[in-house]
């Protein structure tokens, strides 16, 4: 299979190149950029035949803020705070990705305490991101109640993180060489309370949505993505694992202290939206497990190993580092010319690749299924455009 790279104009011309016979009902529809279920300013050009989707062409650029270019004029500490604004639901993991790249390149060793706290926060973020996704998936499919339940539990978790960090969405907590602040004295107890609170709520989620026949029928066998296509399109995260490819950086190339935690990687079998749904719900349970195991063993130590306003200069060269965010692999590519600012900073963001899986997924299916399939991809648009 070939992946063509062409302009939208060519694509539309190509797609509309069919015969002009009066019998056909092929037409174009714009979905977005202001559509409630595209979760942001994403525009999809759909070629429809009746209600069937023949082509689905994503059009990007409506929320481009040139984060990569701005980063070229900033020191590495400041670069980190811009990553909050890419995938805003995994801001700590984004911060960590840059911090990890800089630390690896500059040879900064961080102590165990920092690694433990980073890992715990990353897993808590993964849970809150999936909580929101779960609620929004229900809302996209026409059920409003799950959204309230998802947000309710996310609020509890957000409060726990807010107590330590001081922010709720754009957290900017991880810095190259450590953390912005030590954990709050209440943190460990509050996380324990949260775990106790959230375990039964996950079963409630199952009662509300998973057992519901309407949801099942709208997700099962909808948006089937084969393992091969997923790999070809570079999909990562739950989208890839839902298609049956058991690839998770946390297991395969452990970073942080994931190698000290015992957890499993949920994997789907068919690759439809239902599998992706299950993978994410199961991931919440596994994340709870990881946090539970690490929480009592946070070693003592400093929370910052590098002085804050010291200039971090990377040796000349190119550096790549990646980690697994809630939506897949976020890669950070830094080209350095010995200054304290990157010469070029590039992000390989998970949502960009996941988005392009939409077309092979949905080709030939109904437009109503497109909503469910797109929701199961869990897209965050600012991460696509950056």
Partner 1 sequence: MTTTTSDQANIESPPMDFGDLKSQCVAPRPSIMGRRRSLSGILWLSAKGILRGLLTTLSYFRRPSTVVTQQYPENRDTLQMFERYRGRLSLIHNEDGEHGCTGCQICERLCPNGSIIVTKDKKNEATGKPALDQFIWRQDTCTFCNICVLVCPFDTLEMTGDFESSVYDRRLLVFNLNEYAGPTADQLEKLGDEELAKAQMKPMKKYQGPVPMCGGELDGIPKLDTGKSDDA
Q: Which residues bind partner 1 (CB under 8 A)?
A: 49, 52, 74-75, 77-78, 81-82, 145, 152, 155, 159, 162-167, 170, 172, 180-181, 184, 204, 207-214, 216-217, 220-221, 224, 226-228, 231, 242-248, 251-252, 263-272, 274-275, 278-279, 282, 308-309, 364-365
CA-based nearest residue to 89, from 120, 115, 128, 53: 128
Name beta bridge partners: 317.
336
Q: Which is nearer to partner 1, 245 or 332 (CB)?
A: 245
42 vs 89 by CB, closer to partner 1: 89
What is the four-CA torsion angle of 132, 138, 141, 144, rounded to 10 degrees? -110
Nearer to partner 1, 13 or 203 (CB): 203
Angle at 193 between CA 188 and CA 195, to 5 degrees: 95
The least distance separating partner 1 from the CB of residue 325, rounded to whole angstroms, comes to: 18
Pick 60 or 260: Cβ nearer partner 1: 260
Q: Helix (H, G, I), strand (E, B), or coil: what is residue 22?
A: coil
Q: Shortest gap between Cβ of 245 and partner 1 (angstroms)? A: 6
Burial class (CB in 10 A: 0-12, 13-18, 19+), 44: buried
- DSSP state for residue 272 in the 8-state scheme: S
Question: Residue 179, CB half-sphere, CA atoms under 13 Å: how many?
Answer: 24
Min dist CB 20 to partner 1, Å, is 20
CB of 9 to partner 1, least distance (A): 26
Neighbours of 257 (CB within 10 A): 21
Give min distance, CB of 144 to partner 1, in A. 11
Parallel, antiparallel, or unpaired for β 178-179 and 317-325?
Answer: unpaired
CB of 7 to partner 1, least distance (A): 27
Q: Which residue, 34 or 221, is less far from partner 1 as judged by CB? A: 221
Q: Which is nearer to partner 1, 6 or 66 (CB)?
A: 66
């Amino acid at each position: 299979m070939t992946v063509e790279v062409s302009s939208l104009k060519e694509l539309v011309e190509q797609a509309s190149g069919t015969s002009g016979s009066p019998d056909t009902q092929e037409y174009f529809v714009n979905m977005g950029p202001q559509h409630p279920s595209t979760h942001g300013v994403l525009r999809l050009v759909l070629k429809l035949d009746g209600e069937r989707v023949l082509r689905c062409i994503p059009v990007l650029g409506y929320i481009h803020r040139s984060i990569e270019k701005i980063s070229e004029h900033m020191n590495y500490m400041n670069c980190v705070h811009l990553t909050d604004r890419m995938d805003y639901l995994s801001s700590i993991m984004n911060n960590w990705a840059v911090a990890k790249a800089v630390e690896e390149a500059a040879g900064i060793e961080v102590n165990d305490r920092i690694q433990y706290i980073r890992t715990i926060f990353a897993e808590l973020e993964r849970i809150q991101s999936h909580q929101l996704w779960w609620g929004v998936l229900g809302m996209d499919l026409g059920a409003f109640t799950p959204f309230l339940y998802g947000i309710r539990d996310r609020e509890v978790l957000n409060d726990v993180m807010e107590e330590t960090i001081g922010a709720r969405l754009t957290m900017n907590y991880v810095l190259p060489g450590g953390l912005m602040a030590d954990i709050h004295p209440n943190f460990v107890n509050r996380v324990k309370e949260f775990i106790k609170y959230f375990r039964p709520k996950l079963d409630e989620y199952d009662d509300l949505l998973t057992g519901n026949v309407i949801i099942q029928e709208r997700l099962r066998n909808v948006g089937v993505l084969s393992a091969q296509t997923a790999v070809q399109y570079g999909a990562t995260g739950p989208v890839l694992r839902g298609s049956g490819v058991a690839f998770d950086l946390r297991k395969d190339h452990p970073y942080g202290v994931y190698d000290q935690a015992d957890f499993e990687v949920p994997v789907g079998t068919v690759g439809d939206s239902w599998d992706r749904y299950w993978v994410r719900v199961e991931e919440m349970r596994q994340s709870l497990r990881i946090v539970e195991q690490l929480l009592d063993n946070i070693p003592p130590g400093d929370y910052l190993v590098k002085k804050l306003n010291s200039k971090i200069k990377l040796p000349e060269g190119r550096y790549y580092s990646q980690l697994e965010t809630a939506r897949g692999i976020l890669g950070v590519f830094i080209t350095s010319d010995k200054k304290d600012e990157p010469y070029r900073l590039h992000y390989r963001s998970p949502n960009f690749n996941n988005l392009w899986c939409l077309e092979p997924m949905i080709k030939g299916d109904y437009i109503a299924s497109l909503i469910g399939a797109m929701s199961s991809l869990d897209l965050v648009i600012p991460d696509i455009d950056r």
